[in-house]
Amino acid sequence: MRSQSIDTKRSMTRVLWAFAGIVSLIVVGCEQMPSNSGQSGAEVVLKLYFSGEEAMLLEPEERVAAAEGASPAELVIRELMKGPADGAAGSPVPQGAKLLGIEVVDGAARVDFSAEFRDNHSGGTTGEAHTVYAIVHSLCELEGIDAVQFLVEGAPLDTLGHMDLSEPIAPTLGGSLIR
């Protein structure tokens, strides 16, 4: 009878060790699974700003975009380039301009566009303000971005014609343009 008790204890110990091993494998396996963020199929909700119908104020538009491996800041610029969903106004980014890169340094998004951003801008004080502040307000909706520095072909952009863009632009400066 005593040998049966020892055999039962050994069997129970083996079962417990096997169970602990299986649980360990499951936990380690789950920790190594890739997350869904930044992968194709992941969706991000963005708040974008576009010129309103009368081109006097910027109006917010919420949009769901597929992450497709891009950072939220890249997604904002890509979606701004598409223009508003209702098609009432064009993109705040001049036609032909390409996003060359974007990085966030100390709360400032440094957005680098191709030369077409400067060269193809339609001009005018209101148009320039809408271009600048649509980008600034849209990017500053993202956590960790407080201002935007505009670059063209890697060099700081001084102006599009009227506004001083030599320093990072904060959204508070264009608050009166928001509906």
Do 19 and 95 fall into the same domain?
no
Specify the amino acid at residue 93: V
19-40 per-position pLDDT tens digit: 444 434 333 333 332 333 344 5
Half-sphere exposure of residue 52, counting CA atoms within 13 Å on the CB side?
9
Do 63 and 110 fall into the same domain?
yes
Which pLDDT value is given to residue 90? Answer: 81
Beta strands, E only, the chain? 43-51, 58-66, 99-105, 108-113, 147-152, 155-156
Do 29 and 48 fall into the same domain?
no
Does 83 reside within a domain? Answer: yes
Which pLDDT value is given to residue 10? Answer: 54
Do 13 and 68 fall into the same domain?
no
The yes-or-no verdict on residue 91 having pLDDT over 60 is yes
Do 28 and 49 fall into the same domain?
no
Task: Measure the CA–CA gap between 162 and 143, rounded to whole angstroms.
Answer: 29
Residue 80: closest CA among 27, 130, 34, 16: 130
The yes-or-no verdict on residue 178 having pLDDT over 80 is no
Do 12 and 95 fall into the same domain?
no
- How many domains in the chain? 2
Q: What angle do CA 30, 31, 34 make, to 5 degrees?
A: 85
Do 132 and 71 fall into the same domain?
yes
Do 14 and 53 fall into the same domain?
no
Does 131 reside within a domain? Answer: yes
Does 38 reside within a domain? Answer: no
Do 88 and 109 fall into the same domain?
yes
Beta strands, E only, 14-53? 43-51
Task: Measure the CA–CA gap between 71 and 85, rounded to whole angstroms.
Answer: 21
Which pLDDT value is given to residue 53? Answer: 72
95-148 per-position pLDDT tens digit: 999 999 999 999 999 999 999 999 999 878 888 999 999 999 999 999 999 999
Do 98 and 170 fall into the same domain?
yes
Do 95 and 65 fall into the same domain?
yes
Which pLDDT value is given to residue 35? Answer: 31
Domain of residue 27, residue span: 1-33
Q: What mean pLDDT do residues 58-67 have?
A: 91
Do 89 and 125 fall into the same domain?
yes
